[in-house]
């Protein structure tokens, strides 16, 4: 099974829209008309949640008029945050259920005119070369067996001088599963930051920084876990994780605390 097939199988539930709508209504929100922040942490499927998405946007200088490509865009939380900062965003994802729901949420948030969601592989988007000023890959690499192909495609799509922000969990694949992205090591593709830098250099990028976000992520995740235990809410953790999110999140936090995983942000320039 290819990594694309693994990802589609892992993330397709068939009832995500219904579960999200139910969670929104339980929180007193109307799914058809959403405001920024209404989806909470459920909108940010990566360690550190909304705080990490905001830091990525700041580090890449995403703002008014920035043409952004988000690879592995999920249900569109980061894309909507970038659009709220004035960016024009294209998200690509291989999971049909995610793409359809993301389009609906973009419209409900009043951001449909600023975001395009495509069902496509990050390694073969079909988009024109040099179309973007910035690109992001947020906790997608753990599902990518062939990161080189994706980095090559991102390089093709960025204009000269464009920036690429890779925020992934890097380290060893010898972990206590299940993790949010995989049930077992065979379908997990965690690699070291040295491997990421090698793939980026091979694609043609210049790496300008490679920063651990471990401390901030640990603090945010521990606080989120504590808040969820004290006051459980369907929007308090990524709803994409299905029925056992806290178990998987606890495994991630344990691996970060043990130094087996390191949430790192690599900033690369084309």
State the average pLDDT over residues 147-156: 98
pTM comes to 0.94
The closest of 73, 71, 83 to 109, measured between CA atoms, is: 83
Burial of 115 (0-12, 13-18, 19+ CB in 10 A): buried
Range of the domain at 249: 3-269
Asked whether the beta carbons of 114 and 65 are under 8 A apart, the reply is no
Residues 6+ apart with CB under 8 A from 10: 143, 181, 182, 183, 187
Asked whether the beta carbons of 97 and 10 are under 8 A apart, the reply is no
Mean pLDDT taken over the chain: 92
Torsion of CA 147, 153, 158, 163, to 10 degrees: 0
Count of domains for the chain = 1
CATH at 32: 3.40.50.150
Instruction: Work out the pLDDT band at 242, boundaries 50, 70, 90.
Output: low
Question: For residue 231, is pLDDT > 90?
Answer: no
Cα separations in angstroms, 30 against 15, 17, 108, 203 = 18, 13, 9, 44
């Amino acid at each position: 099974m290819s990594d694309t097939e693994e990802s589609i199988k892992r993330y397709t539930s068939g009832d995500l829209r219904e579960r999200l709508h139910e969670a929104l209504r339980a929180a007193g929100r109307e799914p058809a008309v959403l405001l920024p922040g209404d989806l909470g942490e459920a909108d940010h499927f990566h360690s550190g949640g909304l705080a990490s998405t905001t830091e990525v946007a700041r580090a890449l200088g995403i703002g008014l008029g920035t043409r952004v490509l988000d690879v592995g865009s999920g249900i569109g939380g980061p894309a909507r945050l970038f659009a709220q900062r004035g960016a024009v965003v294209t998200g690509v994802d291989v999971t049909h259920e995610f793409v359809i729901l993301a389009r609906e949420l973009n419209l409900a948030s009043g951001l449909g005119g600023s975001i395009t969601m495509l069902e496509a592989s990050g390694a073969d988007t079909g988009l024109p070369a040099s179309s973007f000023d910035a690109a992001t890959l947020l906790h997608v690499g753990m599902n990518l067996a062939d990161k080189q192909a994706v980095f090559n495609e991102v390089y093709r799509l960025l204009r000269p001088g464009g920036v690429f922000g890779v925020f992934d969990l890097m380290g060893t694949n010898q972990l206590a599963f299940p993790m949010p992205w995989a049930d077992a090591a065979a379908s997990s593709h965690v690699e070291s930051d040295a491997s990421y830098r090698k793939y980026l250099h091979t694609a043609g990028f210049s790496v300008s920084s490679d920063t651990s976000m471990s401390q901030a992520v640990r603090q945010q995740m521990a606080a989120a876990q504590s808040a969820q235990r004290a006051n459980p809410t369907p929007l308090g953790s990524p709803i994409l994780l299905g029925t056992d999110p806290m178990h998987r999140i606890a495994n991630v936090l344990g691996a970060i605390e043990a130094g087996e995983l390191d949430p790192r942000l690599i900033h690369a320039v084309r």
